[in-house]
Every structure is written in structure tokens, then in C-alpha cells.
Structure 1
Amino acid sequence: MSTINVLGIFSDDENFKFSRYTLHENGTLGITYRGEHRNVGIRRIKHDSIDFELMKKYHHNCNVKTTAIRNLRVIDCKGPLSQGSIQAPQNCRYAALSYVWGSNGPVSSSGAASGPIPPSKVVEDAISATLSMGIRYLWVDRHDQVSQMGNIYSNSEVTFIVAAGEDAEYGIPGIGTTPRRRQLQEIIGNTELLQCFPNSSYAIASSKWATRGWTFQEGVLSRRKIIFTDDGASYICQFFHNSEIMPKPLHWQQWPTEKMKGLMPRLDRIEKFAQDMLQNYSRRNLTHNSDAFDACLGILQEMANANIGQIWGVPIVYRYNRYYAIWLEWEHEQPVQRRPSFPSWSYLGWVGPIKWCAIPGFRTEKMAIGDTKTAFYNIHSLFDNRLKFLETRYSCLHLTGKVFEPVMMDTAWIEQDRSYRFKAYQTVENAYGERVFTRHLADGFYAHLKICNNIRMLIRAQLDVVGFVLNESETSGTEVLLLRARDNIYERVGFFSVSYWGFPTECKRRFHSY
């Protein structure tokens, strides 16, 4: 019987990263010399089953300490599903499930019932996966345990992420009746050509799972994950990323690609990537706007463990070992809708992606929280008393600082003034290059802000606004919140910053004096 060799691409460099060949969104193909044995490369996978023995091998090489969760309710995978959830035995090992509900999900996190777990194909398949991993108990999201979700996912033995299908009835590809995509193969003589599917980050990024708000913290907080897509299974922990179709030796431990980092950032660096995480979370969708705080509660709790406080989801950090500063310097790049159940000064108060604009600089000694009339808590004193996770009973932010009122003008541009050009630096092939852009101004209402005698700043606006100065410096510039009067309070409607680079000295001092 003749030997069949696998086709692969290899380098003489022992440090060569083979995973780069699976990063293309259309997959790839590789080549190896006939008769040469390599412990890496594309392998044949089945469309109707998953290699859980390989997943267990990865799992046993990822040591993560876990903590027992109190009052945990789990499914006993060796018992009938009809018995529902049971009280978890003491110090039990359990798998957690992360998936999309679809149109038959709960009313909301606050209104969901805590009764039996509804039967679904994905739960049935997850029970099979749990037993295949040598684990007996499975936790499926129960929204009566929303305050514990962060701890539940971070302390699970492994989390099954189902990044396939549109709802719970799709199931897990490769388990039960849900097949995976067939791997193309061709035999020519004694050589076999095998299709290698794209890196799993592509399938995850294009999945319904990657668009949902609740699943973001489930992916971030889980320290060990098996990700199921229509192309195959992948294992990710804090130390390495390995796949079913193209396994690498375990001593080649490396963190996933940049694309995967954006989907599931490392939890052990949360103090560094907190802004990125909340920015990515703001891009996710929620069926119920009232879930916006609860769906990121686990991430906020982890931030608190890293000495990053928060109020209504807005981080508060210690700056330069001197004072606390609140992160109010964010903006939207396009018009968005309000979430009326959350304050306007929090990104949770708006539906749509945010972008952080500057290093947080507004000092909390100038800020208090309360109702529309009274400030009850000074944020700075609360943090001095080491209260890192503030309550959200009150939603009005009381700020002390400089305020100015721009002049609103209905502006019609003459053609010679309608267009303007500016220069920007771009990186092209690791080299900086200058590029000139042309922009065209539209007619309409603008807020005019006089910076000095010959220079005005114009802000396109459709309503009367007031500017509140968050931070100002003659060297770096000024950051301003735009506020609109509503009843007896102000509502945040925008943010802008002014950089003084290239401005005459007298202009810097003039604006600085507002």
C-alpha cells in the first residue's frame, strides 16, 4: 500500500510562523517534501465530528487557576435535560456556553424568568461537547445570575463559543445534526491536496455572535475557550491559540493574531486595553436597550479589580499618582440615537460606536453625582475611601468648571470659501508620507467660537448648545463638552477638542482665558 503525503508549505527557518498562511480570508494550501515528517501543517478534518481528543490535549496544556462560584446552578450532563438546572456541587468543574439566542430570547436581563432552561439544539449539542471534554456540568446563561456572569465565565473550566448560525436552533457545527463545511481534497498519485480554511478570526468576525452585546464580555472574560465555526474548532487560552485543522506544536505558544485580539482582548492587560474594550463593546448590538449596563457588567467588575473605577460604565482612573480623572472624552463619528434609560454623559446613553478622543483629564474633585437638584456624593472623596465600584442610583453629573456659549449662525457659503484643503501624514509601507485632502462645507447652522481676532472655529450644529471646558492647556489644547438645555438640566450632545499646534501665541492665550 503506497504512502499518501500531505501537501504543505514550509520554511527552513525553525522560527517560521506557519499560521500566517491561514490568515487569508479565502484560506490557503501548503506543500511539503515527499516522505518528510513534520509535526505541523494542514490536516484532514471531518465535517460531521470534532476532534475533541485534540481539544483536550490543548486544554491540558493551559493551566488557569479558578475560583469556586457560590449559588451556581448548572446542568448535570449525565442526567436528563428535562430535570433542568441543579445546585452545583461544591468546587465542581463546569463548562460555560456562549451563543446567540435569536428571536426567541428572554424579554431582558431584568425581566427574564429564572425557571427551567428552555430546550434548544445548541444546549443539547453543548451537553455532548461537555461530556466529550471529560466535564460533567454545564452552565447556560441564566439572567437571574447577571451580577455573577463575569465570575462565572472567568472561572469556567472552558467556555464553548458558538460563532455559527443565527439562533439557538442552529446547534454546534460538527455535533449532532449540524454539519461543518466539507474540506476539499484531491489525490494525485501518492500526494493528497487538502484545503485549509481561513484563520478562525475571519469566521468569528463575520458571525452573528460577534455582533451581539452580551457575547462580548463572555468572550473577553473566559480564560479558556473552544470556538466552534462552520469551518472547524479552535482552542484559545491566555497563552496560545491553536486550531483543529492546522495544529502547531505546543511549545510554539503564541497569542492569537491581531484580528483575534480585537475580538477577544487579553484579560490580564485590562488596565492597558480598557478603552479599546469599551470602544469595541459600543459597536455591539442589543435587542433591549435596558441591557446596556448589565451586558458589560463583568468587564466593569474586572476593571475595578485593576483599580479602574466606573460610574454608569464611564471609567475613572488615577492619573500621575495625583488625582482621579473621569473618561468623558469620547465622540460618535455619525449621528446616533439616545438610550433614555441611561445618562447622556455616559456612552451607554447612546446607541452606536464611540471613539476615544484624548487622554482622560477631567478631575473628579470637580465632580459629584446626584439628582436634578442636589449633589449627594463627591466622586473624589468616594474613591479616596477605596470605593471602586460606584452605585448607579443617581444619574445626574454635577460639574464645576468654565462654560461658554457659542454664537449660532445660519451660514451660506460662497463657492470660493466652500472648499478647503488640509495636509495629513500617512504611513505607507512603513514610511511617512504627506497627503493633501479636500473637504467641502455644507450650508446650515454653525456654532461660531471666536478664538482670537482673526480666527474663528466653526462647529456644524442643528441646535443651541453650551460649551463646558473639560480640560485646557496652552501647550496641548482644549477639550469641550457640548451641552443642550433640557427642562432644568443639561444633556450632553457632543464633544470637540482644539489643538494649538500652529496657532499664534496670542490665540492660545485668548482661548485659554474663556
Structure 2
Amino acid sequence: MPDVPNKRRRLCASQDLERFEHQTEAASISQDPCSRCSNVAWSSITEELASSLDKFVASDKDSTPDQFVADVDESYQELASSHCQICQLLASLKISSPDTSPCSLRAVSAKWLFMRKQLKKHSDLMDTALLYIVSKEGQGAADNRKHLGDVLAIEPTNERSPFLSPHRIDVKSVDYDRVTDWLHYLQPLDVLDYESREITTLPSNEKYAALSYLWGTGEYKDNEEPPQVIQDSMTCIKQDDPFKGEKLRRMGKIYSEARFTIIDAAGQDPSLGLAGVAMPRQPQAHALTNGIQLSYLCKPPREEIAASPWATRGWTYQEGFLSRRRLFFTKEQVIFQCNNMSCFESFTIPMKALHKRGGSTSVKNPVLRDTEPLLMKRMKILDHLMEYRILSFFKTQNSWYHFLGNPIDPNRKHIIIEWYHLEPAVRRKDFPSWSWTGWGGPLKFTSYHTPDYELRLIPKAGEPVTFDEYIQSCDKPQSLSMEPFIRLTGKMTTITFERLQWSTNTEMSENTSIAKRALRDGAWAVLTIAENLVSYLFLYADDESLRGKAGFNLPVIILETGEQSRGKNMVVLVLRQAEGYYERVGALITRSSLDSCVMPVVNKDASGRWSTSAHLNEADKHLWLDRMKEDSVRLK
């Protein structure tokens, strides 16, 4: 990559540069450790991990071989204000951890996280220990995530690890050589001629790079100097172009066919330029103790990118979604992502450990999640569709149909109602309650195609129709005109809900099996299983008015009993009766495993003893189901 012109490499105001240089000096923390940090044998952690890892691989276990380093019971504020420089560094790890619960500092092998089953093939590579903070109550275990951020790397100062080497980030300048290496690892890169800095017609056989950024509210005309981010990235579509509309319609093709896309994940608008090119970046903290260097590997990329203004706009999300290769410029580092690997400026790992072949045909997730290639299964697209409300992607998908704006996969028709909100949402009265369009808030999908109910759509004229009948009509010149109603037929009853305060109930907190589950306070459904057993299911409320409500009854209809679904997953739709129809207000969900993100089933026997289970066993024998009656409801 050629040298960037000085004009494009200019920093912000001189006082900003001085501030960043001062922060960089402060980020290097190295003396006066507390008694706890002094007593940790930092230099032996990597060696001990390597020894235990060899035994772990030989045993062929499926968990993660991490080890305890030290107790970290202080809050983030206590760590950040400590006189101990290492404690100040640990504060960076405590931010996303449970701040009020006792935690421990643990070490995990970087080779294990990245190589797993290929460890034996790369036994010649030296390991690097990664440190992370985890709640003693079991939240955030190492085998549940691959550590990209919120970790410290232990690095011997006299010998850099050839496997994972922390890289000291220059706040003033991107490491262009490393970025070039990432791009060249996949295939040779043709450098664009940007000397004239003019937007010209692209020859059909030319390669090009694209830019994704947040335009903001400013106006930029031809006689003005282009915004800094455009100068940094060389080219973009002019916002005042008379042919802008036609070009915008081609944006999907432009971004999907670009060699790579440059994404400004740090700026509020294009005036500041790219972080590390025209704008200084946040310094990277590190510490030196007894000849051992501890380096903070920056914030988790997923959190950094998801919190950026760029990620809040559906249009820029589409640009990242369609791009095959993406260069994220964040406030801390540059990140490269493609279908086969992710690379980070904050540390170096051999490409053979990162690169995973065979992912080029899958749709990818433009928000980083882990160290694996960022592939997205077809149904995962719907999760992001819910978050960003992007329907344009499906316009060219011949196998998809739409019902009142809801995408329908002919093979998984029931996804239009089998979803739930993680937190109560805001109701949109102009849209039906059974649809995700009727609510504002993030959601997740349940099971997809093991329904224990019948769903029909209601046209403005004629009898209710099945999904197949509706889809057939969509292929005709004159399709059906539909009402915003659906008709559900299935097993119905009324359920009592109680408000349970697990956090303040001493009887429950003393039960270790309950306390470790971190159960949520709120409304729980009361289900009589047998004469001596009652089960409680957490209400995932759609309607925010149910958040603090206690002691109420609501009708429900079973979507899935769990008898047909893999893992015995149960889905129950919670309703509220209106004038002549019902509205959806929440859902009850069970999953096949206690490791699921779904709240477990909580059981209470005749003696008052509490316990948890993943799902309702032998659901067909439950007393609460005896009250069920087959019925039909109109849902709006």
C-alpha cells in the first residue's frame, strides 16, 4: 500500500494530539503492585497452562482447560481507583463482568481457543496465556465465548510468542503493512489509482474498494473539499449526484462485488476521517511486572462495532451485510473480517490458525461475534432482520414471500409468530401484535416448524386461507387482499401469573441450585404439574405494562408442546382479550438445556423445596393441561 499523503494523514487539533499522547503514556502502568498482584506467579502461568493442556488433549475432554489465577472481588470502581497499577489494568476486564458479585481472574490457552482439535498439528507453536474475569457464580465461562476483547495477554518481555503476539497500537497511525498482509493472504490486491481524487466511471474489468460510513446531517457540494473520511478512503457516491437514485438502487451490487469495504465504525459523520488515519485512536493499556508484560487486547470488537453510530443505521448495516470483506476502523484498532477469518490490529496470530476454508457461500454477520469465520445460517438472517428492519434483501429472493410486510419462508412459515422479546417492548398500534412489526425492541426466534396448532390468514373477502393457499395467490396476477388478522386454532386455557423476587427471597437464595441460575425477577406463570409439584415459567413479556404487574390471569394458546420438537422445547403464546379479537402480550419458552439463554423451569414440591430443570418433563401428564380446550381465536 503506498504512503498516504500528509494531508490525508493529518491529525486533529494539536491539543487533541497532546491529550492522546498523555493518555498513551498513562496507559503504560508498571509499578507498586498490591499484595495480591505481587503474589501471583505471572511468569509461570503460560508454562502451567501448556502442561495442563497436554494432559487435557490426551484425555479428549470437551470443556475448556482454564485455570484459576486470583480472586477479584472488588468492583470496577475500586479496581480503577486502586494504587496498584495491575488492578487498574484489571478494571478494564471487570466492566462487562458482573460488577456486584465475587469474581475470579482465570487464564486460558490462546492456542486452545483458536486451534482446538488442530492442536496436535501445531505443537511447534509456543502458547500465549489470556487472562479474563469470570463470576464465581458461573457466568461467562471461557467455553461459552472466544476471547477477542476484555482479556489480557501474558507476554514474556524477552521472547515474543510466535502464536499470539500482542501488538502495540500506534494511536496516530494504522499499521498499513499488516492490513495489506490480511488482504494479500486471500488473493493479490490491485491498488486503486486515487491521485486525481475524482469520481470517474469504473471500467467493467476494474477492481475497487467500497466505503461504509455515517453521512450525518451535513451538506457537501462539489466546490468544497470532500469530507475527511472520503479523502481517507478514496472514493464514494456523491450525495448531490443527479443520478444518485439510480446508483442507490445498485448499492447491493456495488457492495457485494467490491474487493473489500472500508467501514468507519468510529465517526459520527464523515468530517473527522478514519481513526488512525486522520484522527488519533484511544490508547491501549499495558503493564510490566517482574519482567512479564500484560497487554490489554482492546474492547470486544462486537461491542465496539455494535455501539458505533455506523451500526445504528439500516442502510450502513446492509453495506456491511453484503460486503465480502470488511475493514472496520474503530476507536481502538483496525479489524479485518471475511467469510473465512477475522484479523485484529491488537494482536498477531498465524494466518493458518485463523483462516477457515469453505465459508465463502454463506451469508455473514457484519457485527463481530467471535474468532470463528463470521458465517450466518439462513434462519439467522431473520434475527438481524428483526433488529434492523431490512426487507430489501429479500426482494430478489424468489423463494420468499411476504404477508403484511412479514417475510415468509415456505419451508418455515410459522416464524411470523414464533418469536419472543428478551425485554418488554414498545407497542406500535398501527401494526398487528402477532407480528414483530407491531413492537419496537430486540427479539429472538423460538423453534420453527413443529407446530401443535393451525394458523390461517384472513382475507378481506372469503374464508380464512392456509399459508400455501396465500402463497399460491401471490403468484397470480391478482393476489388476495388481506386483513391484519390471523386465526389460531389449538389448545387454550387461562394461566395465573405471580411476581417472583428471586433476588430478595432468602429462602430461594439459600438454595445453591437456584442461586447459581441468576433467575430474573418478574412475572412467572404458575403451572400445576402434579398434586405435590408446581412449576414456574418466566414470562417473556411483549407488553411493557406487564413489567411490574403481580397476581393476574391471562389466556394462553400452546404453539408447541415439545413432544415433536427436538429437545422438548415448549412455546406458549400469552394473549389478552380485546373487543372481538385477542392481542399477543408475551410468551413462555422452555429449552432442552440449562445452558440455554432461556430462563429454566423452576419447580417447588410439597415440602417447599425449590429446584430447576431445563424443560417440563412428560408434559402430556400435567394437571394444568387437563384444563386445556380446543378453541380458535382471531389475533390482531
TM-score category, normalised to shorter length: 0.5 to 0.7
| One of 186, 196, 201 as aligned partner of 1:62 | 186
Secondary structure of 1:53's counterpart equals helix
Change (3 A) 1:433 1:337: closer
Higher mean Cα deviation, 334-343 or 156-165? 334-343
Shift of 1:511: 1.0
Within a 5 Å distance, the mapping from 1:289-438 to structure 2 comes to: 292=389, 295-298=390-393, 300=394, 304=397, 310-311=402-403, 314-317=406-409, 324-339=413-428, 342-361=431-450, 366-368=455-457, 370=459, 372=460, 379-381=467-469, 383=471, 396-402=483-489
Change (3 A) 1:384 1:124: same
Partner of 1:175: 277
Q: Distance in 1 between matches of 2:379 and 2:450?
A: 17
Q: CA RMSD in A?
A: 5.9
Shift of 1:357: 3.7
Is 1:482 equivalent to 2:571 in the alignment?
A: no
Partner of 2:232: 128
Q: Deviations over 1:333-388 (max 9, x none)?
A: 44432345654432133211123344344599843465x5568986414656997x
| One of 177, 188, 191 as aligned partner of 1:53 | 177
Secondary structure of 2:377's counterpart equals helix
Contact 1:332 1:352 in 2 (8 A): yes
| One of 332, 337, 341 as aligned partner of 1:236 | 337
Q: Distance in 2 between matches of 1:316 and 1:40?
A: 45
Task: Among all aligned residue pairs of Structure 1 and Structure 2, give the percentage whose two residues are the same amino acid.
Answer: 22
Q: Deviations over 1:133-181 (max 9, x none)?
A: xxxx5457867656554443332211112111333333211223x1223
Secondary structure of 1:226's counterpart equals strand
| One of 207, 222, 247 as aligned partner of 1:93 | 207
Q: Deviations over 1:181-208 (max 9, x none)?
A: 34578999x9999775445444324433
Partner of 2:559: 471
Q: Deviations over 1:18-49 (max 9, x none)?
A: 59569475664543463778486233443332
Contact 1:366 1:401 in 2 (8 A): yes
Shift of 1:216: 3.4
Secondary structure of 2:165's counterpart equals coil
Partner of 2:321: 220
Q: Given the two structures, how large is their TM-score scaled by the length of structure 2?
A: 0.52
Contact 1:311 1:392 in 2 (8 A): no
Shift of 1:227: 0.8
Structure 2 alignment gaps of length 5 or more:
1-42, 51-122, 133-146, 360-364, 500-504, 547-551, 591-615, 632-636
Change (3 A) 1:226 1:118: farther
Q: Deviations over 1:243-274 (max 9, x none)?
A: 22322222222479x99644999675432533
Partner of 1:496: 587
| One of 255, 267, 270 as aligned partner of 1:165 | 267
Aligned length: 438
Q: Distance in 1 between matches of 2:222 and 2:457?
A: 42
Contact 1:332 1:353 in 2 (8 A): yes
Structure 1 alignment gaps of length 5 or more:
1-7, 65-74, 107-114, 131-136, 285-291, 414-418
Q: Deviations over 1:299-319 (max 9, x none)?
A: x468x47x5655456453455
Q: Deviations over 1:36-87 (max 9, x none)?
A: 78486233443332233321221122359xxxxxxxxxx9955456xxx665
Larger fraction in helix? 2
| One of 204, 213, 218 as aligned partner of 2:305 | 204
Change (3 A) 1:436 1:271: closer
Within a 5 Å distance, the mapping from 1:73-152 to structure 2 comes to: 77-80=194-197, 88-102=202-216, 104=217, 123-130=227-234, 138-139=236-237, 148-152=250-254
| One of 248, 252, 258 as aligned partner of 1:156 | 258
